[in-house]
Amino acid sequence: MTCRDVRRHLMAWARIGAEDRAEREAVRAHLRQCPSCEEEARLWALRRMLLQATRTDVVDPDPSLYARVSAQVRRQRARPVFPFWEAVRAFSASIALTATIVLILLVGVNIYVHQQIPSGRRDFVSALMERNFSEAERLVFAGEEELNQDSVLGALVAESRESR
């Protein structure tokens, strides 16, 4: 098992836990002799432990809650609602969001292009430069569900298209 395989497994374990026995043993053997993967594994294991610790059991609310909620809804019925202002607020928020995304995209693409371009990524970058967003997106998402730098950049591209 290579370091890359090990890390791919660990990333999945951090989320859904380890299931396959053979896979677990292979990872365990690798971690024993690879300090750098052991270090990374520790980080992800800690993240998993902490997140799992925030789980709470399903419980019944205080029985009086239902009556309190119903009473509040009854009071609300008396009051008129102005969906208009809600709509105005939502509209201005969406403009701000779009502007932010476009800005992030511009800065992000700029930084990306000015970094060294790894071979094999040239197609993606040239598609991006030619503003061929659908091609860029296809290259990025091709058979890949994991979250890496490329997939996020692709998502940014897709986002900018949606908001236009």
Partner 1 sequence: MVAETRNSASELVPDDEELVERSLAGDAEAFEVLVKRYGRTVYNVAGRFFRQPEMREDITQETFLKAYQALHTYRRGASFERWLMKIAVNACYDELRRMKRRREFSLADLAEDERVWLEEALAKPAFELFEQQQQSEDAAAVAEKLLATLSPEDRLVMLLYERDGLSTAEIGDLMGWSRSKVKIRLFRARRALDKRLRRLLRAARPTSAAKARAEGPPSRRAEGR
Which DSSP symbol is given to 116? -
Among positions 33, 36, 54, 115, the unique one binding partner 1 when judged by CB under 8 A: 54
Nearer to partner 1, 67 or 120 (CB): 67
Residue 127 in the binding site for Zn ion (CB under 5 A): no
Quick check: helix, strand or coil at residue 115? coil
CB of 9 to partner 1, least distance (A): 10
Distance CA 13, CA 24 (A): 10
Question: Do the beta carbons of residue 44 and residue 13 sit within 8 Å?
Answer: yes
Distance CA 69, CA 67 (A): 5
Among positions 19, 119, 120, 162, the unique one binding partner 1 when judged by CB under 8 A: 162
Place of tokens 């071979």: 119
Nearest to 159 by CA among 98, 109, 108, 111: 98
Task: Tell me which of Zn ion, partner 1, none is bound by residue 158, counting a contact when its beta carbon lies within the kind-specific cut-off of 5 to 8 angstroms.
Answer: partner 1
What is the distance of C-alpha 77 from the center of its chain?
Answer: 39
Stretch touching partner 1 by CB under 8 A, among 52-60, 109-117, 121-129 = 52-60
Residue 37 in the binding site for Zn ion (CB under 5 A): yes
Residue 58 in the binding site for partner 1 (CB under 8 A): yes
Of residues 70-129, those binding partner 1 (CB under 8 A): 70, 72-74, 76-77, 81
Among positions 66, 100, 113, 130, the unique one binding partner 1 when judged by CB under 8 A: 66
